[in-house]
Amino acid sequence: MISCDTIIIGAGPVGLFQVFELGLLGLNTHVVDSMPHAGGQCIELYPDKPIYDIPAVPACSGRELVERLQQQIRPFAPQFHLGHTVTALERMQDGRFRLQTSGGLVFDAGAVIIAGGLGAFAPRTLNLPEAAPLVGHTLHYKVTRPALFDDQDIVIAGGGDAALDWALTLVERARSVVLVHRSSTFRAAPASVARMQALCDEGCMQFCEGDIIGMETIGDALAQVRVRTRSGMVQRIEASHLLVFWGMHPALGPIAEWGLALERQQLVVDPATFQTSVAGIFAVGDINTYPGKKKLILSGFHESALCAFAVHAYLHPGDKVNLQYTTTSPALQRRLGVRDAERDAVVAEPQPRVAATA
């Protein structure tokens, strides 16, 4: 059993910043996420899209934001358990919480913070009987190795950013790329749509408006994708790989069974503490709701700061926590690992020479 002050469910941007705020207050943390990597929506939905509303950062991609947050929390040495879903949660007689994961881990935590964003993500899949045997081989819902598609005939299904981004990326490496979408209206960035249309005009790729209705295989390999076009005709497209980007389907999963107050599939919290309807269980980020809630990364960062103080008060009732600032507090600077570094820098700084006088 793993014992800790707090456990955070969710390793998205808000969950990562929650680690930082708890660390400043001297609380150790373990982080559990069902995905195989940290980053949440930033990595799953828009890893390479620019974000413009992070204070003091004019622009950064979702991937860059996650990398910077991971760098920021490094002094607190949080323990990550990725690829694990929390499947059970119960309060013990001593008031602490026992959590179990899909991977067999058991945690004993003083407080629980749910930072699960929109919930666990699963891709919207192709509902065809011949699809299942091809998944991970010639049918893909995500791209992990772009080189797999070098000199291949690719069909990409979808009309959002992921579909357009990968079409524009793979057109440089694949033998052929055909984008299939049910309409000529896209949900992607206008610049990406314009670029795709220009490539189609140049003959570098093709666009087919219609719905995928079937696939032809040779053995266990994809050979053709059948599309019913808007005119009702069936078009057969030669394909060695089919990439489907129809978005991700969020679901609360086991969280919905923990007896927490819900409103439209979101956890109701006190906006002063971000505690849920169960004492000791808190929620921050897109997964919570309260009057005036705004689903912004910036709002989630604010929630994490207030939540950290509330968690400390819950774990250590009666202890007074003075508000300190990282610019001036030796204690906070020691926790961040910068106190000794700053002192050494001052010692090493060249001193001005003063001429001796008679």
Q: What is the mean pLDDT of residues 96-124?
A: 90
Among 240, 212, 241, 258, which residue's Cα sits nearest to residue 119?
258
CA dihedral 30, 70, 87, 90 (to 10 degrees): 30
- CATH placement of domain 125-246: 3.50.50.60
What's residue 136's pLDDT?
A: 86
Decide: 83 and 35 in contact? Cβ < 8 Å.
yes
Task: State the DSSP H helix or E strand holding residue 155, giving kind and residue range, or none if neither.
Answer: strand 153-157
pLDDT tens sequence across 218-260:
988 999 999 999 999 999 999 999 999 998 776 788 898 999 9
In degrees and rounded to multiples of 5, residue 340 shows phi and psi of -65, -35
Please list, in sequence order, all residues whose beta carbon lies within 8 angstroms of the beta carbon of residue 234, skipping any fewer than 6 positions away.
213, 226, 227, 228
**Are domains 2-121+249-336 and 125-246 of this chain identical in fold?**
yes
As annotated, the binding site for FAD includes 33, 41, 46, 86, 121, 286, 327
As annotated, the binding site includes 33, 41, 46, 86, 121, 286, 327
Q: In the chain, where are the structural domains located?
A: 2-121+249-336, 125-246
Please list, in sequence order, all residues whose beta carbon lies within 8 angstroms of the beta carbon of residue 355, skipping any fewer than 6 positions away.
none
Task: State the DSSP H helix or E strand holding residue 24, giving kind and residue range, or none if neither.
Answer: helix 13-24
pLDDT tens sequence across 129-158:
899 889 989 999 988 789 999 999 999 999
DSSP string covering 33-48, please? ESSSSS-THHHHT-TT
CATH topology of domain 2-121+249-336: FAD/NAD(P)-binding domain (3.50.50)
What's residue 358's pLDDT?
A: 36
Decide: 175 and 151 in contact? Cβ < 8 Å.
yes
pLDDT at 356 over 50: no
What's residue 124's pLDDT?
A: 86
pLDDT at 204 over 90: yes
Work out the widest C-alpha separation in the chain, in whole angstroms: 103
The rounded distance, in Å, linking the Cα atoms of 191 and 197 is: 10
Q: How much is the mean pLDDT over the chain?
A: 91
Each residue of 211-225: b (16+ CB within 10 Å) or e?
ebeebeeeeeebebb
What's residue 340's pLDDT?
A: 65
The rounded distance, in Å, linking the Cα atoms of 157 and 52 is: 28
